[in-house]
Chains A and B, each alone.
Chain A
Amino acid sequence: MIYLELFWEFFKIGLFSIGGGLATLPFLYKLAETHPHWLTAAQIGDMVAISESTPGPIGINMATFAGYQAAGYPGGLIATLGEVAPSVIIIIIIARFLSNFDKNPKVENAFYALRPVVVGLITFAGLKLLQIVVYGEGVLNGRAMIAFAILVVGVLKFKKVHPLVWIGLGAVGGIFLNLGG
């Protein structure tokens, strides 16, 4: 039953992705590896772009998108419900029983190691996507590498510019310069 499997896979993503935003990215990559008929690694880049350009939390947008890719209209809803189910359960438990959860020394200790590791996981996902972009067809794509270098400099120099602008520039560049290869 695909819907049950979809719910379970996104339940696990919701349970283990800590830190919000792009934190679900590495899990989606793993999902593309284990369930290639659901989504491909390249599609994940498109999902990030669409999720950043539309309202709503990025993690939720990506869950809906991936679920839709995997199993159509019901898939989007089921994946999203799967992803939020663990949070709802955990937050209710914390709200009810653990009033000083964030000040517990054990939680603080766990987070000392979790924070850099989550950055590492997002780096892993970013490198995977970069590999697809510049080395997708087994040869180095020089134009894509130059475009990436220019965009990184731009993004880091003009921090206040909305991500939507960079995504739009990427789209225009892609159409006119055929950057994707």
Chain B
Amino acid sequence: MKVRLIDLYVAFLKIGGLTFGGGYAMLPMLQREVIDKHGWATIEEVLDIYAICQCTPGIIAVNTATMIGYRKRGIVGAIVATLGEITPSVVIITILASVLTRVQDFAVIQRAFGGIRIAVCALIVQSVLTLSKKSITNTGTVLLFLASVALTLIAGLSPIAVVVLAIVAGLIIGKVKERRAA
């Protein structure tokens, strides 16, 4: 049976609206809506889609929505599922941002955000450490990590240039390894 576009939209609207954070945080909601409720994919398929979506540019949650939407209803499905996924963010954040702009000059709000920014720094430290464990595993990756910090912080290179350089470096390292193995 053909999946209805409205069902795709509503399913991803719920996933977007009930997931805090990104990436793996959406997995429980994804499982409930996509696997248990609608049977649009099996858990293995979802994990495969996840693997693909982590090595493509963009937000993982959006990539997953696009992929499942595409598999069910082609290009239109991909767009509809993506719009569902981003609708809650756009609505909630727009409201909050407009409220915040109105109250941001109050001293109490400025003080609160002074403290919040410190908490955000601490949360970034945690994210960096968690990500490091999976990605910085040997001398080569340590050097790549240090190089990217130095290039952005000291040399002032744009993150786009650093990402492009990383892709080139990764391909060259891969070639060198192949030659050595051969």
Q: Which residues of A approach B to under 8 Å, CB–CB? A: 12, 14-22, 24-27, 30, 42, 45-46, 48-61, 64-65, 68-69, 73, 76-77, 80, 83-84, 86-88, 90-92, 94-96, 101-102, 105-130, 132-133, 144, 147-148, 151-152, 154-156, 159, 162-164, 166-167, 169-175, 177-181
Contact = CB atoms under 8 A, between A and B. Distances in A.
Interface in B46-93: 48, 51-63, 66-67, 70-71, 75, 78-79, 82, 85-86, 88-90, 92-93
Given A57-B89, A76-B94, A46 B171 contact: no
B17 A155 contact: no
Place the interface of chain B in its size category.
Answer: 35 or more
Contacts of A181: 114
A95 B67 contact: yes
B114 to A, nearest CB: 1
Contact of B131 (A54, A112, A119): A119
B43 interface: no
B167 A84 contact: no
Given A91-B66, A114-B170, A20 B115 contact: no
A103 to B, nearest CB: 9
B163 A117 contact: yes
B127 to A, nearest CB: 6
B1 interface: no
B52 A180 contact: no
A94 B52 contact: yes
Most buried by A among B66, B93, B97, B158: B93
B31 to A, nearest CB: 17
A52 B25 CA distance: 12
B182 interface: no
B144 interface: yes
What DSSP secondary structure best describes chain A's contact surface? helix
Interface of B: 16-23, 26, 48, 51-63, 66-67, 70-71, 75, 78-79, 82, 85-86, 88-90, 92-94, 96-98, 100-101, 108, 110-129, 131-132, 134-136, 141-142, 144-149, 152-153, 158-160, 162-167, 169-171, 173-175
A156 B127 CA distance: 10
Contacts of B122: 148, 151-152, 154-155, 166
Nearest to B177: A109
A132 to B, nearest CB: 7
A88 B86 CA distance: 12
Contacts of B120: 45, 48-49, 52, 129, 167, 170
B90 to A, nearest CB: 5
Given A64-B94, A124-B148, A170-B115, A59 B59 contact: yes
Contacts of A14: 57-59
Nearest to A105: B174
B170 A133 contact: no
Contacts of B61: 20, 57, 60
Nearest to A59: B59
A15 B59 CA distance: 10
Contacts of A130: 121
Nearest to B29: A55
A116 B17 contact: no
B54 A20 contact: yes
Contacts of A163: 21, 123
